């Protein structure tokens, strides 16, 4: 096979993983470097039996030595290849998101064939995070292709802002990067704020200083599902962050919502969002550690809420701390279950990919047993479809969301 790329041979273990659909080759799975391959360049990957497995970005400085791009020998990884990939990704969002295409994730890393790249859209603002060297070296081309594709569809882009700040970049041999991307027609000194509408709720998104890219788009339809239970309820929204679950429930007709978070800055933004939607009179914002707050309620032996929502940050970001995270999830869920009356409702979730659905389900079972309650499942959900789950790549399935009635 006459191919223009460097050649790399991997272990049989890696070959099995690649054949099963996973796109990564790890540091210890490389048998031979074969031809010299510059970091960030494309290399062909072969099995020990000299069978071609695919081609992807190579990086000698990363524990993920190869991030596979294609399993098709006809692909050349040129501009036309990436243009097709971007078109496919955007066409998919238009189809599955419908009118929500205006505010959604346009590129979701490996699930879209762009390893290490996240691109979120907030109206006429794009926010990009690049965590792989191969994408970093090609980002000028990729950004140009995205802007061209949107422009041809009549979608104006005012700002493209880079939020490539994760420590993962250092492990890939790159420094952190934050700031507006310079290109013709793009603002060079953006305000950092953009207004979006999700589920009929308005939000002012801070895409410069907000967490991640500025707003968590992955809970969009989970918030709508949670809000359907809220009419007439006294709701407690724990880890409210900028108030999204609280606002959805208040707008749906909750009797009263209490929104709790430990971050003063997040609560200020949540209060601004409440005023923006004329819901400030229906939500109480409380700064407190959620664990301490739930404990204090339990000690008072009060049950002031009919409905509790638990949307914590990731308690674990590695497999080494999963057990400690499981204990944390179990504790807050047990306390919430104990605080709810029979017939009350619980929404609970985890955004850590290391806390798998199976582990989370087992934790919930244990928490219910400890709380001496039973759980009647209403719904089990995942992240919204603009964050697609690619089967064979468990890293793309990270958000778990359950709705229960306490019986």
Q: How many CB atoms lie within 10 A of CB 296?
A: 12
d(CA 5, CA 325): 43
Which token pair is 224?
């709508």
d(CA 70, CA 23): 9
What is the C-alpha radius of gyration for the chain, rounded to an integer number of angstroms?
23
* 3-class state of residue 300 by DSSP: helix
DSSP string covering 179-209: EEPP-TTS-SS--SEEEEEETTEEEEEETTT
* 3-class state of residue 240 by DSSP: coil
Catalytic residue among 238, 249, 349, 351: 351
Confirm whether 238 is a catalytic residue: no
- 11 burial type by CB count under 10 A (0-12 exposed, 13-18 middle, 19+ buried): middle
User: Are the CB atoms for 122 and 205 separated by under 8 Å?
Assistant: yes
User: Are the CB atoms for 318 and 354 separated by under 8 Å?
Assistant: yes
HSE toward the beta carbon, residue 89, CA cutoff 13 A: 30
Q: How many CB atoms lie within 10 A of CB 344?
A: 21
Q: Nearest-CA neighbor of 387 among 184, 217, 247, 230?
A: 217
Q: How far apart are the first and last CA of the chain?
A: 64
Question: Tokens 């290109």 identify what position?
Answer: 183
d(CA 171, CA 254): 46
d(CA 101, CA 374): 39
Torsion of CA 351, 179, 107, 357, to 10 degrees: -10
d(CA 277, CA 274): 5
Q: How many CB atoms lie within 10 A of CB 213?
A: 22
Taking the CA atoms of 391, 396, 400 and 401 in sequence, report the sign of the dihedral they define.
negative
Give me the active site residues, please.
Answer: 351
């Amino acid at each position: 096979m006459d191919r223009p790329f460097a050649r790399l041979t991997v272990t049989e273990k890696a070959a099995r993983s690649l054949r099963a659909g996973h796109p990564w080759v790890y540091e210890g799975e490389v048998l031979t470097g074969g031809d010299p391959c510059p970091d960030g360049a494309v290399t062909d990957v072969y099995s020990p039996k000299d069978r071609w497995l695919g081609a992807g970005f190579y990086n000698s400085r990363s524990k993920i030595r190869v991030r596979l791009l294609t399993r098709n020998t006809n692909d050349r990884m040129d501009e036309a290849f990436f243009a097709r990939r971007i078109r496919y990704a955007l066409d998919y969002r238009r189809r599955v998101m419908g009118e929500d295409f205006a505010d959604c994730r346009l590129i979701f890393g490996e699930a879209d064939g762009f390893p290490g790249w996240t691109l979120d859209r907030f109206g006429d603002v794009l926010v990009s995070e690049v965590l792989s060297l191969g994408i970093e070296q090609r980002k000028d081309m990729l950004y140009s292709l995205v802007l061209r594709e949107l422009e041809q569809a009549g979608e104006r882009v005012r700002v493209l802002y880079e939020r490539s700040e994760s420590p993962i970049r250092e492990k890939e041999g790159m420094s952190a990067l934050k700031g507006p991307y310079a290109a013709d027609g793009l603002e060079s000194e953006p305000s950092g704020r953009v207004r979006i509408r999700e589920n009929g709720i308005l939000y002012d998104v801070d895409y410069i200083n907000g967490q991640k890219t500025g707003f968590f788009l992955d809970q969009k339809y989970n918030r709508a599902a949670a809000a359907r239970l809220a009419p007439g309820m006294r709701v407690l929204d724990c880890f409210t962050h900028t108030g999204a679950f609280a606002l959805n429930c208040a707008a749906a007709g909750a009797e009263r919502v209490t929104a709790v978070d430990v971050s003063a800055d997040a609560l200020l933004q949540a209060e601004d969002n409440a005023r923006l939607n004329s819901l400030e009179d229906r939500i109480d914002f409380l700064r407190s550690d959620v664990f301490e707050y739930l404990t204090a309620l339990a000690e008072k032996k009060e049950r002031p809420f009919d409905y509790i929502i638990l949307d914590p940050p990731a308690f674990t970001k590695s497999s080494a701390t999963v057990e400690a995270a499981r204990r944390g999830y179990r504790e807050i869920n047990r306390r919430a279950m104990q605080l709810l009356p029979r017939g009350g409702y619980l929404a609970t979730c985890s955004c850590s990919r290391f806390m798998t659905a199976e582990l989370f389900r087992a934790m919930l079972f244990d928490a219910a047993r400890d709380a001496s309650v039973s759980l009647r499942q209403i719904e089990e959900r995942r992240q919204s479809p603009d964050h697609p789950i690619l089967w064979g790549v468990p890293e793309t399935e990270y958000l778990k969301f359950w709705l229960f009635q306490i019986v």
